[in-house]
Amino acid sequence: MPAYARWGPAGLLLAVAVMQFLLARVGPGTPLLSPWKGGGFGMFTVVDAPGHRAVSGEGLTETGDRVPIVLRLPSGGAEAIRDQRALARVRSLPNSGALEDLGQRLLSSGWAPETPAGILREVGIPEQLPLVSGQAKARYLRPAADGPEELSEITLQTWRLQFDPFVAVVSTVPLGKPVTVVGR
């Protein structure tokens, strides 16, 4: 059996897995890659799965107001799939390039006003409103194809969940630096 047949595929698996471990644990800078992704074996090992990462943001409206946004992306259609892919990338590897790409996509979208109650109602958990009232802002903007608002600038930041098993408390901590994207 030739050497490439003996060691080629396993060598490739090992090389990718080592790279993934370095990117998810060592850096460069703050390690941004989710341990669950990138061809390694960190899934079902840490809390920091892409599904446990969230993106916050703030948009600058045409009237000069800075309004927090909620990233509930519209579904359906090729553009929506591309937006979802950009968001998936930001969740798995939130480097500045990924955040800028998502930001540019979001700037081309329309935006509709939304309240915490409306957002929670839409995802089917309105009973959690007491949790957010008082801390969350009263008014948000969310992407909507026919939304009346336009944004000229958007700042995005990725967060990961942090879990303290001794008191069963979960919070969000920032992952990397916020990135501001200005409309072209």
Partner 1 sequence: MSSLWDRFLAQPTEEIALRASLVLLFLYPADDPGLGLPVRALTAVMLIGPGLARSFKLWVAVTLALGLALWPDWHSIDNHDYLLFYWALVCTIAVRGPDTQRILAWNGRLLIAFVFALATIWKLAGGQYLDGTFFSFELLTDSRLAILATPATGLLVDQINANRELINALMLFPGAGLTVTLQSAPGIEAWARILSYGTVAIEGALAVAFIALYRRPDLDLPNWMLIAFNLATYSLAPVLGFGFVLTVMGFAQCPADRRDTRIAYVLSFLFVQLAPLRWIPHVILTFG
Q: Which residues bind partner 1 (CB under 8 A)?
A: 1, 4-6, 8-10, 12-14, 16-17, 21, 25, 33, 35-47, 50, 52, 54-56, 70, 72, 85, 88-89, 91-93, 116, 119-120, 123, 125, 127-128, 131-132, 135-137, 157, 159, 161, 163, 165-172, 174
Q: Name the minimum Å distance from CB 102 to partner 1.
A: 12
Whether residue 2 has a cis bond before it, omega within 30° of 0: no
Q: Name the minimum Å distance from CB 65 to partner 1.
A: 18
Residue 136 vs 147, nearer CB to partner 1: 136
Q: Name the minimum Å distance from CB 142 to partner 1.
A: 10
Amino acid letter, residue 110: G
Q: Name the minimum Å distance from CB 38 to partner 1.
A: 6
Task: Write out the H or E segment, with its range, that includes residue 66.
Answer: strand 66-70
The Cα–Cα gap between 59 and 154 comes to: 4
> In degrees, to the nearest 5, what angle opens at C-alpha 159 toward C-alphas 154 and 161?
155
Long-range contacts of 81-86 (CB under 8 A, 24+ apart): 83/109, 83/143
Residue 62 vs 168, nearer CB to partner 1: 168
Spatial contact of 24 and 160, defined as CB atoms under 8 Å apart: no
Residue 35 vs 63, nearer CB to partner 1: 35
Residue 99 vs 120, nearer CB to partner 1: 120
SS3 call for 115: coil
Q: Name the minimum Å distance from CB 105 to partner 1.
A: 15
Residue 62 vs 154, nearer CB to partner 1: 154
Instruction: For residue 159, count other CB atoms closer than 10 A to its CB.
Output: 17
Residue 108 vs 162, nearer CB to partner 1: 162
Q: Name the minimum Å distance from CB 5 to partner 1.
A: 5
> In degrees, to the nearest 5, what angle opens at C-alpha 21 toward C-alphas 52 and 101?
55
Spatial contact of 141 and 114, defined as CB atoms under 8 Å apart: yes
